[in-house]
Amino acid sequence: MLIGIVGKPNCGKTTFLNAACLTTAKVADYPFTTIEPNLGTAYVRSQCVCKELKVQDKPKNSICINGVRLIPIELLDVAGLVPGAWEGKGLGNKFLDDLRRADALIHVVDASGSTDDKGNLTEPGSWDPIEDIKFLEYEIAMWISNILKRDWHKFTRKIEVERLDFVDKMAQRLSGLAINKSHINEALKTSKLVGTKPVKWSDEEIFNFAVALRKIAKPMIIIANKADMKTADENIKRIKEFTKDIVVPACVLGEFFLRKFAEDGRINYIPGDSSFEIIKSESFSDNELKTLNSLQELIDKLGSTGVQLALDTAVFKLLDMIVAYPVHEVSNFSDADGNVLPDAFLIPKGTPIKEFASKVHTELAETFIHGIDAKTKKRLGDNYIIQDCDVVKFVSAKGH
Ligand SMILES: Nc1nc2c(ncn2[C@@H]2O[C@H](COP(=O)(O)OP(=O)(O)OP(=O)(O)O)[C@@H](O)[C@H]2O)c(=O)[nH]1
Ligand SMILES: [Mg+2]
C-alpha cells in the first residue's frame, strides 16, 4: 500500500512525511526543498481483534498498543508541483512518475494562505488555497492525459483494425500506473465514453477520461494544513464548501513535535489521540509549555492534529480496506511458532479468501483447499468473502 503526498511547494508535504513516519527529511520555509522523493513507513490505526478474543497478542508485521493495531503502509513525499508543471514549469512533472505505484494521494494544502502558487511566502491570508486545489487536480490529470496520448492514434487504430478489447489493452498499457480493468471500466462510465470509438476521441475526451481515471485509480483526500494559523479557519470552511473530496484540517507540524516528544519519553501520546499527557514538564521551557498548551487547544477544536486521521481516512474510507489476520493455529490464534495474532493484513473489502491466501503466500493460491474461521472454527469455502477483523486459517494441499 503506497500513498503519495502531493501539493505545491512549501505547503508541508515533507513535514507530513516526517510526522507520520518519524523521519528527518529536510524541511524549510522556501519552495523546492525536496527534489528527490522521500519514502517512509507510516501506520494506520485499527481496533485490534485481541480485545474481542481476550488474548495477549504478539504482533510481527504490525504493532499493538493497548488494543490499537498499527499496520504499516508506505508514504512517498515528492517535489512540489506548480501551475504549468505539465509543460515543464518548476521542476516539471516528470517526478510525478514516482507516484505511478500510488494507490491514493494526500493533497497537502496550505490553508493559512501564507504561500503563493509557487510556494513563496506571502502575507498570511493573502493567497486563496482554493486555487491550489483547482490547479493541482488539473496538473495531475494533464500528467495522466499525456501518458495516454503517447502513441494514442497507433494504439487505438490497432485495437480497431485487429478488433481487440480496448479495456484489456488499456489495462496492459497502464499497469505501470497501478490502473486496472475495473478502474478503466468505471472511468469510461463516468466520462460517458462507453460504446464510443477511442480512435475518434478528441483531446478533450482523452482529458476527461484522464480526469475520471485519476479520481478512480488515484483517489485523493485534502489536508487543510497549517490550521494553527489564524488565517486558516475561514479558508478551511471555504475549502469544505468548494470540494466534494474529504477535507481533514490539520496541524502537521504539531503532530511532528508530539511524535518526537513521545519518542523521547517526555509526553504520553499515541498518534491520532485527542489529547496528550506531559510527563517530564521540567524538560520543557516556559515557551514550549505555552506552545504545547495552544496545541492542545487546537486539538480540542479539531479532534486531533489530523495526520493520523488523514492516513486512516485514505486507507479505510477512500480505498475501502479492511483488516484480516491469518493464523496457523485456530485453537490459540497463533502462527507456527506460537506468536498470537502475528500479522494484520490490509485488503480491499470484497476480497475472496483464496485471493487473500495468495496475498499471504503466493504458493497458497495453487494449493489452497479451504479456510477455517478461527473464531467460530467453521469451514470457509473458497468463495468466502473476507470480513473486517476476520481471523482465518488456510488449509492447503501442502499443509500450510
Ligand atoms: N504553521 C505551520 N507551519 C507548517 C506546518 N507544517 C509545515 N509547516 C511549515 O511549512 C514550511 C514548509 O514545510 P515543508 O514540509 O518543507 O514543505 P514541502 O511541501 O515539503 O515543501 P517543498 O519540498 O519545497 O515542496 C516549513 O517552514 C514548515 O515548518 C503546520 O502545520 N503549521
Ligand atoms: Mg518537501
Q: Where are the domains of the chain?
A: 2-37+78-242, 322-396
**Class (C level, CATH) for 2-37+78-242:** mainly alpha
* Pocket test residue of 13, 15, 112, 122 for ligand 1, highest count of atoms within 8 A of CB: 15
Ligand nearest to the CA of 256: 1
For ligand 1, the distance from its centroid to the CA atom of residue 30, given in whole angstroms, is 9
Give 193 Cα–ligand 2 centroid separation in angstroms: 38
The ligand 1 atom nearest the CA atom of 252: 31
Closest ligand 1 atom, CA of 10?
A: 21
Q: How far apart are CA 37 and CA 76, in angstroms?
A: 7
- Residues in the chain, how many? 400
Confidence label for 371 from pLDDT (cuts 50, 70 and 90): very high
Beta strand 104-110 with 2-6: parallel, antiparallel or unpaired? parallel
Percent of the chain with pLDDT over 70: 100
Q: Quick one: pLDDT at residue 88? A: 81
pTM of the model: 0.94
Report the pLDDT value the prediction gives residue 96, as an integer from 0 to 100: 82
CATH level 3 topology of 322-396:
Ubiquitin-like (UB roll) (3.10.20)
**Residue whose CA is at the smallest distance from ligand 1 atom 32:** 226
Residue 199's pLDDT band (cuts 50, 70, 90) = very high
Of the pLDDT bands very low, low, confident and very high (cuts 50, 70, 90), residue 90 is: confident
pLDDT in tens, 205-229: 999 999 999 999 999 999 999 999 9
Distance 99 CA to ligand 2 centre (A): 15
What is the pLDDT of the chain when averaged over all its residues? 95
- Please give the pLDDT value at position 399: 55
Of the listed ligands, the closest to the CA of 6 is: 1
For 8-60, write each residue's pLDDT tens digit: 999 999 999 999 999 999 999 999 999 999 999 999 999 999 999 999 999 99
- Helix (H), strand (E), coil (C) string for the chain: CEEEEECCCCCCHHHHHHHHHCCCCCCCCCCCCCCCCEEEEEEEEEECHHHHHCCCCCCCCCEEECCEEEEEEEEEECCCCCCCHHHCCCCCCHHHHHHCCCCEEEEEEECCCCECCCCCECCCCCCCHHHHHHHHHHHHHHHHHHHHHCCHHHHHHHHHHCCCCHHHHHHHHCHHHCCCHHHHHHHHHHCCCCCCCHHHCCHHHHHHHHHHHHHHHCCEEEEEECCCCCCHHHHHHHHHHHCCCCEEECCHHHHHHHHHHHHCCCEECCCCCCCCEECCHHHCCHHHHHHHHHHHHHHHHHCCCCHHHHHHHHHHHHCCEEEEEECCECCCCECCCCCECCCCEEEECCCEHHHHHHHHCCCHHHHEEEEEECCCCCEECCCCECCCCEEEEEEECCCC
How many A from CA of 124 to the centre of ligand 1?
14
- Residues 108-165: tens digit of each pLDDT: 999 999 999 999 999 999 999 999 999 999 999 999 999 999 999 999 999 999 999 9
Nearest ligand to the CA of 20 is: 1
Instruction: Tell me if 281 sits within 8 A of 292, measured CB to CB.
Output: no
Q: At residue 400, does pLDDT exceed 90? A: no
- Ligand 1 environment, Cβ below 6 A: 7, 9-15, 27-29, 31-34, 79-80, 119, 225-226, 228-229, 251-253
Distance 9 CA to ligand 1 centre (A): 9
Q: Whose CA is nearest to atom 13 of ligand 1?
A: 12
Q: Ligand 2 centre and the CA of 14: distance in Å?
A: 4
